[in-house]
Amino acid sequence: MKLEVKGFEIHCGFLDVGAQREILDAVRGVVKQAPLSRYSIARGKKMSVRMTAAGQHGWVADPAGYRYAPTHPDGQAWPAIPAPILAVWDALTGLERQPDSCLINFYDADARMGMHRDDTEADAQWPVVSISLGDEGLFRMGNLTRGGKTQSHWLRSGDVVVMGGAARLAYHGVDRIRAGSSTLLPKGGRLNLTLRVAG
């Protein structure tokens, strides 16, 4: 089932359990090569999510600021984006252009992601495709400017959101995690994978 909320396309239950497990196994391979990191943000405060990436570009944060970088903080190149993840992009966008970045965020029960917009990519004509695995996350969707009325939707394991068109530069965030709502990750938590054209 597809919902459209404030221009965000929410494909509910797009991935069945078998597809979710296949992607989870692929993510484990990425994390083995490029371990999750908890980055410091403004004034030295650490983010509550842990992050890694696959593809030519990964997102990093340090005293120099936030940016895409060609290497993991340990200096090695990011792993390639696994084929089962790329297949989701192909199925939902129909674009010949492939993403060059897959950001991977892990949320434990206490993690959040404040309202932000994805505006550091070189060209915002390309969509962002966001895959949810594991515990449910309360996804809040805003506007092209900060403030104003927002709408929220619980994203479940296997849901995929496409942010394109009017929603491509809209503010959005994750307000909370519903711990224990999924058994996909044996120790709980939520994985969010965002495919994008960064460079």
For the segment 127-145, what is each residue's pLDDT rounded down to a tens digit? Answer: 999 999 999 999 999 999 9
Residue 155: its H or E element: strand 151-155
Neighbours of 74 (CB within 10 A): 8
Distance of CA 94 to the CA centre of its chain: 19
pLDDT value of residue 90: 98
Domain ranges of the chain: 2-180
**2-180: CATH architecture:** Sandwich (2.60)
pLDDT value of residue 47: 86
pLDDT confidence bin for 40, thresholds 50/70/90: confident
For the segment 76-85, what is each residue's pLDDT rounded down to a tens digit? Answer: 999 999 999 9
Query: What's the angle, vertex CA 17, arms to CA 178 and CA 36, rounded to 5?
Result: 60
Whether the pLDDT of residue 23 is over 80: the answer is yes
* Mean pLDDT (whole number) for 31-55: 88
pTM: 0.95
Mean pLDDT score of the chain? 94
pLDDT value of residue 62: 73
Whether the pLDDT of residue 63 is over 90: the answer is no
Region at 80 (left for phi over 0; alpha for psi -120 to 50; beta for the rest): beta
Whether the pLDDT of residue 13 is over 90: the answer is yes
* Mean pLDDT (whole number) for 27-49: 88
pLDDT confidence bin for 42, thresholds 50/70/90: low
Whether the pLDDT of residue 64 is over 80: the answer is no
What is the Cα–Cα distance from 146 to 150, expressed in whole angstroms? 10
Question: Which residue has 């842990």 as its token pair?
Answer: 50
For the segment 75-125, what is each residue's pLDDT rounded down to a tens digit? Answer: 999 999 999 999 999 999 999 999 999 999 999 999 999 999 999 899 999
pLDDT value of residue 146: 93
pLDDT value of residue 67: 86
**One-letter amino acid identity for 26?**
A
Kindly state the tokens that stand for 133: 């695995």
